[in-house]
Structure 1
Amino acid sequence: MEILEYTIQINASPEKVWTVLWDDFSYRQWTSAFTEGSFYIGTWEQDSIVKFFDPNNNGMYSRVLKNDPSKEMTFLHLGEIFDGVEVPQDWGDATESYILEETEEGTKLVARIKTSEEFKSFFEDKFPVALQNVKNLAENQL
């Protein structure tokens, strides 16, 4: 497993950034960097299962390991979804964390992903765009 980390400074409060990350409407906007039409089903409650989908009913499912509002959200990735069917994967401790830290300028957002080599280039290509989307939404939404 490799740990990848992406950081962006956002001129908005942690509460605003948090809302952009996890509100259904804005979630669909910023995650379009990964796949156009991305959405989720489930809740962000700790220990709940969230399913992440593309428009073709494919994606992955994860357990919410930590939900500390306006501070940190961490997922443990459990498996993939093919045509709506969950397929468990042996990804070990593949996690994805979003850490928000209040700064004088607003919020430092850190995305930390523990992943296998097979997904590294995808994340390196997509995550900077996704975080820029979060920044644009948080700084420009009314």
Structure 2
Amino acid sequence: MDTKNTIKIETTINAPVKNVWKLWNDPNHIIQWNTASNDWHTTHSEVDLRVGGKFSSTMAAKDGSMSFDFNGEYTTVSEPKLIEQLLGDGRKVRVEFIAQNDQTKVVETFEAESTNSLEMQRAGWQAILDNFKKHAERLNTYEQLNFTITINAPMKKVWDTMLGIETYKKWTSAAWPGSYYEGEWKEGETLFFFGPDKSGIKARLVEHRPYVYTKAEHIACLDKGKEDTQSEIAKVWIGSTESYAFTEKDGHTTLDVTMHVTSGWADMFKKDWPKAMNKLKEICE
């Protein structure tokens, strides 16, 4: 790598190296952290983690104004210590994962491109690395759950059925009888998800793009209608997230549900979400 035109960035993450390695290379996680600013996101990621394997991430403006693919090939893979890549434009990238007891130092070195200033490139790559640090440290206490189903119905119908105030009660009844919500599905708004005794979760919609994607952050527990942010169970839930992504092809819709939960709740959701999604499929079809 030509040191004259290289940039080095780094961060230290409060998570063991085996966890950091997994989160760095898992497409389900890459789409969660791979962004330099709040008005951009990664819509799709593919990883073939082996020497000669390809990788690709589609990065896009949230307003749909532009997008591009960041892609290339792996030239070195030494788990869990080192990755070297050759980008599609011929530049080289080196990522080191340095174990430091229960922490991990991540050092990225990359060849600069000629269009943008070195400082702009450094700031952009560092912002993405900082996002990764936040994601990894949050998930050091959470487990990410992913559920997927394909429904023989248009995306708009699946969206409207899943989030409609009355149809929501129907599909959730397969796993969580008596569930309902109050509030408006709109970015920045607050939603209240209740069970029969008015216990449940208060959430804020941190991202919402109608018929495509919605993501909520849990901000409080509800105990028989009363807001709870101080109990031990509330502290576990606050900050965790839940997202729904919808994609359509040939009249079929794929629904991807992603949750971040503590391990104590994971088994319940692994059992219940498939029931709820199958009910949603039945209603839509």
Matched residue, 1:121: 267
Q: Write out per-residue CA displacement over residues 71-110 of structure 1, whole angstroms, 9 at most, x where no aligned residue.
A: 1111101121111101023335311111001122510000
Q: Is the 8 A contact 2:171 2:276 kept in 1?
A: yes
SS in 1 for 2:173: helix
Matched residue, 1:17: 158
Q: TM-score, normalised by structure 2?
A: 0.47
Q: Write out per-residue CA displacement over residues 17-64 of structure 1, whole angstroms, 9 at most, x where no aligned residue.
A: 000111111100111133211110111111111001111111111001
Are 2:176 and 1:30 equivalent residues in the alignment? no
Identity fraction in percent = 30
Whole-angstrom distance in 2 between the partners of 1:14 and 1:41:
23
Which letter maps to 1:123? F
Q: TM-score, normalised by structure 1?
A: 0.93
Q: Is the 8 A contact 2:220 2:238 kept in 1?
A: no
Whole-angstrom distance in 2 between the partners of 1:76 and 1:122:
19
Are 2:84 and 1:84 equivalent residues in the alignment? no
The one of 45, 63, 74 aligned to 2:186: 45
SS in 1 for 2:273: helix
Whole-angstrom distance in 2 between the partners of 1:127 and 1:69:
22
Q: Tell me the matched-pair count.
A: 139
Matched residue, 2:277: 131
Matched residue, 2:245: 99
Are 2:212 and 1:71 equivalent residues in the alignment? yes
Which letter maps to 2:279? N
Q: Is the 8 A contact 1:33 1:127 kept in 2?
A: no
Which letter maps to 2:260? K
SS in 1 for 2:269: helix
Whole-angstrom distance in 2 between the partners of 1:15 and 1:105:
10
129-138 or 82-91: bigger deviation: 82-91
Q: Please, which runs of 5 or more residues in structure 2 have no aligned partner?
A: 1-141
Which letter maps to 1:124? K
Q: What RMSD, in angstroms, separates the aligned Cα atoms of the two structures?
A: 1.2
- Runs of 4+ residues over 4 Å off in structure 1: none
Greater relative contact order (CA < 8 Å, ≥ 6 in sequence): 1
Deviation, structure 1 residue 11: 0.4
Whole-angstrom distance in 2 between the partners of 1:92 and 1:39:
20
